[in-house]
Structure 1
Amino acid sequence: MHTMWKGSISFGLVNIPIKLHTATEDKDIKLRTLHNKCHAPIKYEKTCSVCGEEVKPEDIVKAYEYTKGKFVVLDQEDLEKLRKENEEKAVEIIDFVKIEEIDPIYFDRSYYMSPNEGGGKAYSLLRKALQESQKVGLAKIIIRSKEQMAVIRVYENTLVMETIHFPDEVRKAGDVPNVPSEDKVTKRELDTAILLIDQLTTVFEPEKYTDEYRTALLELIELKRSGKETVTAATKEPASNVTDLMAALQASIDRTKPKKAAAPRKKAASKIKKEA
């Protein structure tokens, strides 16, 4: 499993060298965009919004737009230094809480944690302590230049780190428009709804749920591929060396051709001199 972060996590005086591994993967089917005329992939180039010039990576700087059209340019060296200073710090568990107290709306990404060299015993200690106390740890970590809150918990005998949103990143539910303030339902309607919920209630078995759209799309792609319903992207014709050589030879011949009109003029000029 690919390691995407190395560091350490601590609680109290216990320090655990760890590695992070992405726990989930995006299995969305990526579709390319082609030119309908020649089926060649479409290129998206970075251009300046004012002068229209294509911008190279080395000509791009990062900036913060503090008001419309006004920016504070940030040097890459400053950003790199800031990121490095924070990433080198150990991830410290600052609190322990019950996971039931954290609403699922706060959860973001999941990462498996494995012990790095020499961290096996401390890793086992934290895992056992979390299991026995039925608590989760709250910590701060910087991943990809962004400071994040995180929950440390146990999942199938493995420590998992769940990044969670800060409170100011979660929009207020009260701002959602057109939400009824009161429940205007009859007792009969409520009883029927609860009965339906009871009938559909089951034990959560994640294996029985599949992405039906992705499965159908893969089947469609395979059906078209096996039926030879495929297209080939058009390519640019490479410059022909033979053509270039012939053009160069012809140009050379043209340049060395004698100018026919020049001879008569010279003879006419000499005849005039003799008559004079």
Structure 2
Amino acid sequence: MGLDAARGLLACPVCAEGLDLGPAAATCRQGHSFDVARQGHLNLLGAAQPANADTAAMVEARSRVLDSGAFDAVDAALARRATGARTILDVGGGTGHHLARLLDALPAARGVSLDVSVPAARRAARAHDRAASVVADAWGTLPLRTKRFSLVTCVFAPRNLREFARVLADAGLLLVVTPDPDHLRSLRERHGLLGIEADKDDRLARAASGLFETIGRHRVRAALSADAALVRDLIAMGPNAFHGVPEEVDPIDTEVAVSVWLFRRLG
């Protein structure tokens, strides 16, 4: 299925008309056309990717971390709360890993992985045969049709809640994963990595107000014994990589500590 998994879900980033998917291009009734990349993804960004988008090296590091099973508990928590979803949007989908695990758990579902990084989109295009990969800016108007998704997921990614509410169907679910203060704490302290904002939970609640009803919060905890290679990849997969990845690191015992927030669309 590949990109065809997005049939009926995409909107033209120029005029907002629905996009029809062909084997080589996506087109709208106004005549706007967007080529399908040979790697299988569709670029609807309309500009060069921003300087802070994930690089190819960051994508490869993230893929190794996710393949290691370090975040399997997060995937399991998402799957338990996605029961019944038929159309899924994963915003900031990266390698497509989290969406692929949801689709494994939901045989009748299809989904779209949306990310601003072209290297990430290339990887996501081959993550699952029922997943489409699209390059777009999560902070802008999403190139997606209104009320077409039963579930939106956002794992450590930009939260454009007004747009999430627009593309969700009535009573659709939003699952947001945020790091808790203990998330990778020993790793972050050992290597002076970026911290976690103290007011992030309050900011999420304020942003959701008037758009979503908060229906639950589930805390996920999983011990993680990281060897030196995994430590390097954990540093290299995120924004800390822009400041350099140390060559010499030691194994470390740390913890995956996140919250899975459940929101239901109002109206």
TM-score range, shorter chain: under 0.3
Structure whose alpha-carbon radius of gyration is higher: 1
Structure with the bigger percentage of helix: 1
The alignment's TM-score, normalised by the length of structure 1, stands at 0.21
The alignment's TM-score, normalised by the length of structure 2, stands at 0.21
